[in-house]
Copies of this chain bind each other. A is one copy, B any other.
Amino acid sequence: MTRSELTQLILAAKIRKELSWESIARALGASKEWVAAACLGQMTMTSEQARTLRGLLDLPEEAELLLQAVPYKGSLPTAIPTDPLLYRFYEILSIYGLAIKELIHEEFGDGIMSAIDFRMRIDREPDPQGDRVKIEMSGKFLPYKMY
């Protein structure tokens, strides 16, 4: 069983059992954002989380070890995503990318926002003109240093 076959199993079981990411996240004791990414093969679970998930979704035995192995990360089937929801994030990067770069450097100097020491929250933002998706990203600033 490869990791992407396991991802297929997880998604199928989640649909069949009509579970939400929220409820899986509660069972695993972590945020819904981290748990969804982990189930989709991007993060590494603890042995306890792996055992819990296996029970919750009736996964085969070898899934438990595989969920604890560090996966080869990257979840998009094409370099530029075709799915409209995902493409909009690529578009934001394309339209605002250089502006983001300018503003972070203006505030922090040369360096980057970490994508490893990083967390994210996705919420509904009620709005009379139509509710909005609100995404908060927080990543440690890592400065380039002279040596």
Contacts and interface: CB of A to CB of B under 8 A. Distances in A.
Interface of A: 1-2, 8, 12, 15-16, 20-22, 30-34, 36-37, 40, 42-44, 46, 62, 65-66, 69-70, 72-120, 122, 124-125, 127, 129-147
B86 A137 contact: no
Given A82-B74, A137-B134, A110 B40 contact: no
28 contacts: A2-B8, A21-B106, A22-B106, A37-B99, A42-B96, A44-B109, A44-B110, A70-B110, A72-B77, A73-B82, A74-B82, A74-B95, A75-B97, A79-B79, A79-B80, A85-B105, A85-B111, A86-B98, A86-B100, A90-B93, A91-B115, A92-B137, A100-B122, A119-B147, A127-B140, A132-B141, A133-B138, A135-B136
B116 A133 contact: no
Nearest to A95: B42
A107 B132 contact: no
A103 B139 contact: no
Tell me if A's interface is mostly helix, strand, loop or mixed.
mixed
Given A85-B104, A93-B90, A133 B144 contact: no
Given A92-B118, A114-B88, A105 B70 contact: yes
Nearest to A7: B98
A134 B138 contact: yes
A130 B85 CA distance: 22
